């Protein structure tokens, strides 16, 4: 198993729209799902279908408006992957980055990094919006 990463990210509660962008680096087969939880940490606001990392047009999601409602919500990124060539491409990085008004939020990245294996690995990134 790869890592579980927890991160709190602050944003401008009166600012423009929020987006979450997922980047997957490494030579691997990877599928992921993204869930947006309400501030009660139980109610799912949005659940993506299983997405293959090669569908790069599906790696950025806009959070619902108004932005002030996003305070306390949680973003969960669950990834399952296997390395294709751990000898020549031994490393991976899975990055979840928050944007506001189309610009990166300061300290707005959560990153899981590690060594690829040719067996199934899992990563879990949980971001709490503050």
Residue 56 has pLDDT above 60, yes or no: no
28-49: b (≥16 Cβ within 10 Å) or e: bebebebebbeeeeeeeeeeee
Note the pLDDT of residue 55: 59
CATH number of residue 11's parent domain: 2.60.60
Read off the DSSP letter of residue 37: E
- The model scores a pTM over 0.85: yes
Domain count of the fold of the chain? 1
pLDDT digits (tens, 9 = 90+) for 57-79: 678 999 999 999 999 999 999 99
- The pLDDT value given to residue 94: 94
Q: Give pairs for 106-113: CB < 8 Å, separation 24+.
A: 107/9, 107/10, 108/9, 108/11, 109/7, 110/5, 110/6, 110/7, 110/9, 111/5, 112/2, 112/3, 112/5
Range of lowest pLDDT (49-58, 100-109, 113-122): 49-58
Query: Domain of 62?
Result: 4-129
Largest CA distance in the chain: 48
For residue 3, give the 3-state DSSP assignment.
coil
């Amino acid at each position: 198993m790869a890592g579980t990463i927890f991160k709190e990210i602050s944003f401008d509660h009166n600012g423009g729209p929020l987006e979450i962008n997922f980047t997957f680096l490494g030579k691997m087969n990877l599928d992921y799902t993204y869930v947006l939880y309400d501030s009660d940490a139980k109610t799912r606001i949005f659940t993506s279908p299983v997405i293959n990392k090669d569908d790069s047009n599906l790696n950025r999601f806009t959070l619902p408006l108004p932005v002030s409602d996003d305070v306390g919500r949680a973003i969960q990124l669950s990834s399952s992957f296997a390395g294709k060539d751990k000898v020549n491409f031994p490393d991976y990085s899975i990055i979840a980055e928050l944007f506001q008004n189309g610009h990166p939020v300061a300290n707005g990245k959560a990153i899981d990094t590690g060594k690829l294996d040719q067996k199934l690995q899992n990563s879990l990134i949980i971001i709490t919006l503050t």
